[in-house]
Structures are given as C-alpha cells and as structure tokens.
Amino acid sequence: MTMVSMHTAVAEQVVDAIRSVVGPGPVTLHEPSFAGNEWEYVKECLDSTFVSSVGKFVNRFEVELADFTGANHAIAVVNGTAALHVALKLAGVKAHEEVLVPALTFVATANAVTYCGAMPHFVDSEARTLGVDATQLRDYLARQTEQRSGHCVNRSTGRVIRALVPMHTFGHPVDLEGLLAVARDFNLVLVEDAAESLGSYYHSQHTGTFGLMGTLSFNGNKTITTGGGGALLTNDGELARHAKHLTTTAKLPHAWEYRHDEIGYNYRMPNLNAALGCAQLEELPLILAGKRELFQRYSAAFASVEGVTLMAEPKQCQSNYWLQALMLDAEQANQRDRILEQANAAGFMTRPVWVLMHELPPFSECPRMELTCAQLLSQSLINIPSNVRGVI
C-alpha cells in the first residue's frame, strides 16, 4: 500500500466509523435537545411578563443548579465569560497581575483575565486529562517564581501571579488534587473554568466546586442551554452575595432609590433564559446518560481504527462527555486536516481543537511555559458529532 492510499484509508475509516454510529449525514457537531418542559416554562415566563432581570425562573434555576452540582450557591449570569470575569475579580485579580491559564482552551478563559486588566500566563496540558499538567506546572513555578510577602511573583516580569484557572476540556475533569496542591503551595487562588463540564465529577464531587469559585456556561453548544447563559458556583456565602451584587449593577436594596456602592456589571441572566434553563436542567440526567451511551457506541466503532483513540474519562472521574474527541497517534497527526476535510465533506461536522492561545495575535506577547504537550494535542485532537438526539 502506498503512503497516499494508507492516508486515504485512515480518513475514510474515521468517516465510516462516525457514520456507523450517527447514521447518514448531515450531522452537526452539537445541538440542543429540547424534549421536556421548554415550551411550557418559556410560555409561563412570557405570560407573567417577567422576562428580564427579575422573576421566579432565575431564582429557581439558581437553586436547582446548586442542588445539582452540590455547590452551596449558584449565581446565574448572561454567559460563561461574564461568570469568569466576575470570579476572577472576586479572586482578587487586579490590573498588572498575571493569571495562569491553559494554552489549550477556548479564548474566553484568556479574555476574562484581560477584562480585569491582568495578563494571562499560559501553561501546558497533559494528554491524560487534556487539562493543565500539575506536575509540569509545579516544576515550572518552582523555577520561574518566588514568594514575596505571601504572593507568588514571576521572576521574569516582576508581576504577581494571582490565580490559576484550569479548564475541564470537553467535560473531562482536570487533575484537581494535583492542582489544588500547587495552588496551596504557591499561594494561588484556584478558579475552575467548568464551562464545558456540567455533569462531570472528580472523585464523585462535581467539577466547579473545588476552587474558590467555579464557572459554568449554557451557550447553545453546551450540554444544556439557556440560549446564552452562565453561572458562578461557590460554597462561600459572602462570595455568593458579592457575586450577585456585582452582577446586578451593585445596586443597594431600596424601595425606590438608585444607589450603587461599587462598579458593577449588567450580567444578570434574564428570566426568559432561565425559564429555558429550568426545563433543560430537568433533562440533564437523561442527556448525560445519552452522552455516555454515545461514547460507548463510538468506542466500539473506533476500536478497529488504527492510529486513532477515542478520548475516555480520566481515572476516578466521571466525564459528561460533552464533546466526543478523537486523538490521532503521532504518525497520523499530519492527517488531521485530511480527516476534517473528508468528514465535513461527507456531512459529519468535525473540528480541531482551538488554536492555542499564545498563537493568537492578542496573546502572542504573554508569558508562557514550554507548551510541548499542548502543541501536540492541538495537532492531534478532532471533535466528532456529539448529539444525543437519536441516542436517548
């Protein structure tokens, strides 16, 4: 067999495996599943005329979200980016500081850091979890930083590194035990970007509830959606009160007076979107079961495709399997674009992982550690159709 025909074979095998699971295309990468009370709750919301920043659904959504995740408090906001912005502010991130974020993430993680006037500092990931590599990070911080008055300071830039923001890629939990220890040992605040991991558990505890705060997203492409939406999770009552205050323009309670005691944000989730969210939360267990079933079906289909591994949840973790991902072996990595082209041409929407943050123009000058693994992952990951419709 020539090289060309072997390469063709791999791409074709991937397309065939996808087709064997999801049927003939076209199939999207991910779309919402509205099979429950969505219409009923949204109509009830419209009928009440309370569609905006006040209403029973937004309060109920927060209570039910706290209940589902086991967090003491949940604060519903307009989207995951807004949640991260406020979480970082509450973590004490100030202008001219640095925040450790993975190079392998969606751009919102890095953007939120800049909204605080701070600078992202990019760290490497590990193939096992697709998230921040705790061991490499520990070694790097030991070399690169020093403690001054209880603050972690970057020796090269002289800036305080305030926080560490791991992200649970595609719903797979990061090494929280390792990262919590790094955060403790280097005086960093840990904030979890759990935008992709609603329904994912690390050692039986829900992701987003380990750090000082965690953030969720309910964008249209997520496991459940509110149209646009996000939330902050925290176990700290005072932080929760402050998060609610900051996300509702920092207005002090009063029957008629408009007095605000700090610079706040118009980040409250509208009641209309929360109505959709309440219905979606009811379906979440079924959706999660469907995503797990889809993983099993893909597992069987890809078992015989050489050079391609389906991403499985890390040990002692339960992933929500938000986006199913293939990892190409090193010798197949140069076939990534061919696979993407053939799969998309065949009507199966697939995509590579995000361009690494330090390769984007706005972040090219930000500090970073060696990103060996992230670079390898960025060349070898492919997301494949992950809808639960037809599965559940």
Give me the residues that bind a second copy (CB under 8 A), please.
31-32, 34, 38-39, 42-43, 46, 49-54, 78-82, 106-108, 111, 114-115, 117, 219-221, 225, 227-228, 249-251, 255-266, 268-273, 276, 340, 344, 350-355, 360-362
| Position 219, amino acid | N
CB of 185 to a second copy, least distance (A): 31
Confirm if 201 and 173 have CB atoms less than 8 A apart. yes
CB of 257 to a second copy, least distance (A): 7
CB nearer to a second copy: give 10 or 137: 10
Torsion of CA 92, 112, 58, 210, to 10 degrees: -60
Torsion of CA 30, 36, 41, 43, to 10 degrees: 80
80-90 and 237-247 helices cross at what angle (nearest 10)? 120
CB nearer to a second copy: give 221 or 235: 221
CB of 323 to a second copy, least distance (A): 13
Tokens at residue 225, please?
């959606």
Task: Residue count of the chain, please give it.
Answer: 392
CB nearer to a second copy: give 83 or 190: 83
Confirm if 320 and 171 have CB atoms less than 8 A apart. yes
CB nearer to a second copy: give 137 or 384: 384
Written as one string, the DSSP assignment of 20-50 is HHH-SS-B-S------SSHHHHHHHHHHHT-
CB nearer to a second copy: give 183 or 374: 374
CB of 43 to a second copy, least distance (A): 6
CB of 159 to a second copy, least distance (A): 17
Distance of CA 251 to the CA centre of its chain: 30
Confirm if 194 and 212 have CB atoms less than 8 A apart. no
Rounded CA separation 67/58 (Å): 14
**CA–CA distances in Å: residue 75 to residues 63, 174, 328:** 9, 23, 39
CB nearer to a second copy: give 183 or 346: 346
CB nearer to a second copy: give 116 or 188: 116
CB nearer to a second copy: give 241 or 251: 251
Query: 196: Cβ–Cβ under 8 A, 6 or more apart, which residues?
Result: 167, 168, 169, 170, 171, 217, 222, 320, 322, 323
CB of 87 to a second copy, least distance (A): 14
Instruction: Please classify residue 381 by burial: count the beta carbons closer than 10 Å to its beta carbon, then call 0-12 exposed, 13-18 middle and 19+ buried.
Output: buried
Written as one string, the DSSP assignment of 98-153 is EEEEESSS-HHHHHHHHHTT-EEEEE-B-TTTSSB-HHHHHHHHHHHEEEETTEEE
CB nearer to a second copy: give 117 or 390: 117
CB of 306 to a second copy, least distance (A): 24
CB of 372 to a second copy, least distance (A): 21
Rounded CA separation 77/248 (Å): 9
CB of 249 to a second copy, least distance (A): 6
